[in-house]
Amino acid sequence: MIYIIGTAHTKTQFWSDAIRDGSSLDTCAAIVERFEAYLREAAISLRAKVMAEENSQYMVLRFEGGSSVAKKVAGELRMHHVYCDPDPSERQALNITNEDRETIWMQRIRPFSPNEISIVLICGADHSRTFRALLERNGLHAQIYCQDWMIWSGEEIV
């Protein structure tokens, strides 16, 4: 089963030096820490074996001191971690449009036998429903665990 957690990327999905030192205009360390704890608890309660995310290593590393929250949690829990989103050069080389991205994510988690194990996938909240529908159309079991963590947690900041 693929459990989908929707969120706001720049507010929760990665650490950077600016977030750590409090100079980020997008978010604060407390919000990222709460999201990290939420992911850890979700992965444990769902007995997840894989932590996948709508992100690419390129996107994480473009920020000074950038690191993935999902990758950190996966490492702590000794789970597999998968960056699902193609980086800009891959998008260009394969002529991938925004509409094609969800199909790429599905292809990248399919090898982990998602109908047989528990997988947590973090994506932008606006993808929660469409990605679940795509997975179901392709015979993969999926459930929205949290459609939008920012709203659910009361962390809506602008």
- Backbone phi, then psi, for 47, in 5-degree steps? 55, 45
Decide if pLDDT at 158 tops 50: no
Beta bridge partners of 5: 122, 146
Q: Which of 34-38, 61-65, 80-84, 108-112 has the lowest mean pLDDT?
A: 61-65
pLDDT in tens, 117-151: 999 999 999 999 999 999 999 999 999 999 999 88
pLDDT in tens, 3-22: 999 998 888 888 878 888 88
Going from N- to C-terminal start, the domains of the chain cover 2-152
Tokens at residue 68, please? 């993935």
* Alpha helices in 22-158, H assignment, sequence order: 29-45, 57-61, 69-76, 88-94, 101-109, 128-137, 149-152
Residue 113 and residue 95: Cα distance in Å, rounded? 27
- CA angle, residues 21, 153, 65, in degrees to nearest 5: 25
pLDDT in tens, 70-114: 999 999 999 999 999 999 898 889 898 877 999 999 999 999 999
Per-residue DSSP letter, 49: S
Query: What distances in angstroms separate CA 76 from CA 7, 28, 72, one per listed residue?
Result: 21, 22, 6
